């Protein structure tokens, strides 16, 4: 089976072109094996690039633990790059189908004829608690969970919950330390108040237009970037009164630019997409 290793701001996945070859029979098990950083290719998970009846391609994403996720903001930029660079659809505006719906992407092509930056319309955030989903109680009539104090493992933190097609818990902190990200992150991910588990963002506000983010990602552990998480942070920053609608987000693997557009309610994300190498994975 042929594969391509790609990353968006350090959020790396193994990609399989299912236009030119059959899709793997057991994708969850393949994800666990191929994403292993010691015994496999290594990555935050597996992404299948499949034909679609409603878009230029369909992205199917599996985390490193084999669980399937609805959406990946960094992954979809890499899917768009692959679709363009490998001639599946040679247009600078693409539609990609995901588990969270069909998204529009605008591609920036470099002087070498290859895509280097992609802007993704991440759509309208879901803010109603039960739809995120979370069972955290809130006194708000609209059921939004915004800066609500919640205790996790004996520590109280203010959380804002947002879905960008997948669930996020955004926590603004003075320092996004290892104690929080690696120690508390996995406990929050599997907290029973998040029925589908949750992605957790720990965010330092540098200014009203600039933040630094670390993410404990559902099913993958800490990742070097999270596009849906960065989008959720942009929304949460506005709701919690921490940031403006357009921000620069510094992640471990690079920077993303986000804007929550007031007129349309859509979140726009711009960032890099990089192809690293290709190879073959034994199917026996």
151-181 confidence digits (pLDDT tens): 999 999 999 999 999 999 999 999 999 999 9
Point out the residues of the chain with pLDDT beneath 70.
284
**What's the pLDDT score for residue 283?**
85
Distances (CA, A) of 3 to 64, 154, 163: 16, 44, 30
pTM above 0.85, yes or no: yes
Which of 181, 186, 187 has its CA nearest to residue 204? 181
Q: How far apart are CA 129 and CA 258, in angstroms?
A: 23
**What's the pLDDT score for residue 141?**
96
- Which active-site residues does the annotation give? 72, 226
Digit-coded pLDDT (tens) for 8-21: 999 999 999 999 99
Please give the torsion angle defined by the CA atoms of residues 188, 192, 195 and 201, in that order, rounded to the nearest 10 degrees: -10
Q: How far apart are CA 177 and CA 167, in angstroms?
A: 22
Q: Which two tokens stand for residue 223?
A: 């990742």
Whether 43 contacts 64, CB under 8 Å? yes
Look-up of token digits 């996790």 = 152
> Which residues are registered as beta bridge partners of 108?
117
Cα 176 vs. chain centroid, distance in angstroms?
Answer: 18
**What's the pLDDT score for residue 115?**
97
């Amino acid at each position: 089976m042929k594969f391509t290793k790609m990353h968006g701001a350090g959020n790396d996945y193994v990609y399989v072109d299912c236009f030119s070859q059959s899709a793997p029979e057991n994708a969850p098990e393949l994800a666990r094996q191929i994403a292993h950083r010691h015994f496999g290719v290594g990555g935050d998970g597996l992404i299948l690039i499949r034909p679609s009846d409603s878009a230029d391609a369909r992205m199917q994403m599996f985390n490193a633990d084999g669980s399937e996720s609805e959406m990946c903001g960094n992954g979809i930029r890499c899917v768009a790059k692959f679709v363009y660079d490998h001639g599946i659809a040679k247009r600078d505006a693409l539609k990609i189908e995901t588990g969270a719906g069909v998204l529009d992407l605008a591609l920036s092509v470099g002087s070498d004829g290859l895509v280097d930056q992609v802007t993704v319309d991440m759509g309208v955030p879901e803010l109603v608690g039960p739809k995120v989903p979370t069972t955290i109680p809130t006194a708000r009539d609209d059921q939004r969970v915004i800066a609500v104090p919640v205790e996790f493992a004996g520590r109280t933190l203010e959380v804002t919950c947002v879905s960008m097609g997948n669930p996020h818990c955004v926590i603004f902190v003075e320092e996004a330390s290892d104690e929080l990200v690696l120690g508390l992150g996995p406990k929050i991910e599997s907290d029973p108040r998040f029925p589908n588990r949750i992605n957790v963002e720990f965010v330092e506000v540098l200014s009203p237009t600039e933040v630094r983010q670390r993410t404990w990602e559902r099913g993958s552990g800490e990742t070097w970037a999270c596009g849906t998480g960065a989008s959720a942070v942009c929304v949460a920053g506005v709701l919690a009164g921490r940031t403006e609608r357009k921000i620069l987000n510094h992640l471990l693997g690079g920077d993303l630019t986000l804007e929550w557009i007031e007129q349309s309610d859509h979140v726009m994300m711009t960032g890099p997409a990089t192809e690293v190498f290709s190879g073959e994975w034994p199917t026996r």
